[in-house]
Homo-oligomer: A and B are copies of this chain.
Amino acid sequence: VTVAPPDRNGRRLILEVHTRSIPLAPDVNLERLAATTPGMVGADLANLANEAALLAASRSHEAVEAGDFATALEKIILGAERHVMMSVDDRRRTAYHEAGHALVGMLTPGADPVRKVSIIPRGLALGVTFSSADTERFNYTKGDLEGMIKVAIGGRAAEEVIFGDISTGAEGDIERITQLATHMVGRWGMSEKIGMVAVFREDGQGRAPLSAKVGGLVDDEVLRIVDEAHDQVVSLIQTERARLDALAEALLEHETLDEDAAYATAGVERGAEPPLVR
């Protein structure tokens, strides 16, 4: 039996169970915490509560604070921070790259809110911009997907605008962009050139002959989608250069910006949470 992961409400209930014996500081809001942990199951949430309690203990705090939960969540989702010696140039490039992701995320309607931006290396990444929806997403519109592509392009686009040269740092972004655009065209029927046809699908009777001709058509569409998004993102960043500089400078100074600091630094107002029904 496949068990679907708990939804937001379910996660709140589970968190209540696992924090019952932990002294919580007044700033801890389990409702909010549940909203930022989509996809997590019982064991993940127990782990989260535990890590937060350990962090509080290691600082000799009496109560576990919201910041402890945030740090624990980050460590679980993004990997542990890693301190490396880096050239001034690399650090500056990283700051603008992450600022690019974050700014496009804040300015793209329908994109998930930016939760954290950081230039502290984690795992293989030199920096990280973390966004998550206010609640589970069950459906993505073509507009949502185009927004996700644009956010992923934001880092490289910032490098282009600021340094006039691009780097290998966008490799992971490029994979994500390619996967999104390829699925839009070949799996979700979002290109008029192909229509509602599943291009990569094997049917039960053997493999459908994805002809070279349609393969070329798909690739033309993927390249076009990414190219158009890229041009729009470069324009956006050129127009909003001041906000980008503010974000990058804040990152170089503070290394990490949380949701409120990021929106404030960029001078962007966060959108409202969408109304829910059950």
With A174-B187, A275-B87 in contact, do A200 and B205 touch (Cβ < 8 Å)?
yes
Of B139, B195, B278, which contacts A230 at CB under 8 A? Answer: B195
Interface size class on chain A is 35 or more
Residues 107-124 of chain A, each 1 if its beta carbon lies under 8 Å from chain B, else 0: 000000000000001010
Asked whether, in the complex, the Cβ of B188 is within 8 Å of the Cβ of A174, the reply is yes
In the assembled complex, which residues on chain B have CB atoms less than 8 Å from the CB atom of A170?
A: 188-189, 196
Bound-complex Cα distance A267 to B153 (A): 43
Per-position 1/0 for A246-278, Cβ under 8 A of B: 000000000000000000000000000011111
Judge whether A77 is part of the interface by a CB distance below 8 angstroms. Answer: no
Interchain nearest-CB distance for A273 vs B (Å):
9
Q: A126-B138, A197-B174, A203-B179 are in contact. Are A88 and B277 (CB under 8 A)?
A: yes
Specify the chain B residue showing the minimal Cβ separation from A228: B195
Q: Contact: B200 with A85, CB < 8 Å?
A: no
Identify which of residues 167-214 in chain A touch chain B, using a CB-to-CB cut-off of 8 Å. 167-171, 173-175, 177-179, 181-183, 186-190, 194-214
Query: Beyond A85-B276, A203-B178, is A187–B212 a contact (Cβ under 8 Å)?
Result: no
A20 within 8 A of B: no
Within residues 211 to 255 of chain A, which ones have a CB less than 8 A from any CB in chain B? Answer: 211-216, 218-220, 222-223, 226-227, 230
Give complex CA distance A234, B175 in Å.
Answer: 35
> In whole Å, how far is A35's beta carbon from the nearest beta carbon of chain B?
10
Q: Given A86-B276, A153-B196, A173-B196, answer yes or no on A205-B181 (Cβ-Cβ < 8 Å).
A: no
Chain copies in complex: 6
Q: Does A30 make an interface contact (CB < 8 A)?
A: no
Name the residue on B nearest A172 (C-beta).
B198
Chain B binder among A1-9, A52-60, A68-76? A1-9
Q: Is the CB of A86 within 8 A of B196?
A: no
**Among A21-29, A39-47, A98-106, A140-148, the stretch in contact with B:** A140-148
